[in-house]
Structure 1
Amino acid sequence: MNQIKYRNTVVDGVSIAYREVGNVDKPTILLLHGYPSSSHQYRKVLNQLGDEFHLIAPDYPGFGNSDFPSPEIYEYTFDHIALTMQSFIRFKGLDSYAIMMQDYGAPIGFRIATADPEKVTAIITQNGNAYEEGIGEAWAGIKEFWKDRNERTEKALLPAFTLEGLKWQYTHGTRNPENINPDTWHLDYLRMSRPNAHKVNLDLWYDYQSNLKLYPKWQQYLREHQPPTLVVWGKNDEYFPESGAKAFKKDVKRIDYNIYNTGHFALEENGDEIISKIRDFMNAI
């Protein structure tokens, strides 16, 4: 089995940590993580598919083991993070790659795909949303925050950053919470306890409304370029429910559609099944 490498490189003045495994001559999959996680969420994919594919999983600035520059130095918006990831892709010399996206990985991944559509061989979405009908009930407090960002609406969101709030992200909607490794939310909690972490994540939640404005552009990309698309979705996700998965069927003709009885981080509880689907899907395109 190929050994996973844990690497760092400076991109646009920021040290980006990333995990890489596999032969660069094999098809590449760029693994883009969600909130509040990091490339750690793809550990099962890296372990099981490294012999067959070239896999790269970066941590965004402020996440995982990448640098966490002050918000006075680095602008924490989805546009800016996507630009940093595009610089990372150029540094790695990636000219052809599939994108696997989850949660925040979708707005970052679709910005990358629409900027260089000819380089994207496929889309793999695990609760990575691109449709208004995919915005679930858990966004209610954040929508109030969008309407009026003030001390009250910010304070209402702070419980999400507690240990219990982060645990909920991983265990809500699962068949059995005992299936979920508690190291996941404990690791995120340590990172969320750093100086500026609450402010940065509130900034990103506030900026998330910019993604909804881009949904029509991303949907047009799917219609025009028709990337083969694999949907592997936890149906009990209160942020991005199954309606978001179904919406891809409107625009993509070549779609492998799979729904699992689990939550937001479907790889945690259905990793083996999802990884098997990725293997078959990538070998078929």
Structure 2
Amino acid sequence: MKIHHLNCGSMCPHGRRLMQGEGGWLARAQIVCHCWLIEGREGLTLVDTGLGTAQVGGLIHGALKALMQPRLSLAETAQAQITALGLNPRDVRHIVLTHLDFDHAGALADFPEATVHVHAPELAAAQAPVNFNERQRYEARLWAHQPRWQTHGVGGERWQGFDAVRALGSDDDEILLVPLAGHTRGHTGVAVRTRQGWRLHCGDAYFFHSEVVAAPHCPPGLALFQTAIAADNRARRANQTRLVELNRDPAITLNSAHCPHEWARDAALAASPESFQAP
């Protein structure tokens, strides 16, 4: 396997100093949608999709658009970037979602033939929201084409101290779902085993690289945003604490879905032919 690191949607809200701890107070922040494209034995797998072609064309929730100010670039969609890599978007066999927010599942309709893997509690929350938070965040029109869902239950094995971890497929132990509830009811991470060790896509379990270092801290705007939209803030903070511990292991690399520093680092490293190839 080989991992390509894609930015499938740039969010540019005002308040860069508040959101990223640097730059001007009124300058625009740079928040990415860091998705993985995995070239594997059975075709292509996407980990999150970012924004899709329909959203770029105008199908995007008005309140979220006003808040996050997405750049809406067709060239940043996963479909366009896969084509630019010389690959065929129709070869995307599987999509693995950390959760179903619009900036993580916005391009599902661009890959109608793919099997969509999701944690069972997350799909339940999206299909039957129980509170204001869930009713506002999930956009059923993004999956109105009726994807081929494959849900994964709450039971499983242990991995690096985390419980209820599930492998994708009956005999594939290289792509794992790692429950990281808090941001949403069924939020999950995605772990992949590479030659250099494990990589864990943490989705929105944290937003900025400084949240998982030895002395964690978060820009105040991002901290407020994460708290405000969390389905279970206590669980979210507990999982962040566990990720700080995990990040101390040199054989494990973490990715947030939205940190531009991590995306730039990993996109550059992946340009090497030997980077991030699994056994």
Pairwise same-fold verdict (TM > 0.5): no
Structure 1 or 2: more strand by fraction: 2
TM category, shorter: 0.3 to 0.5
TM-score scaled by structure 2?
Answer: 0.33
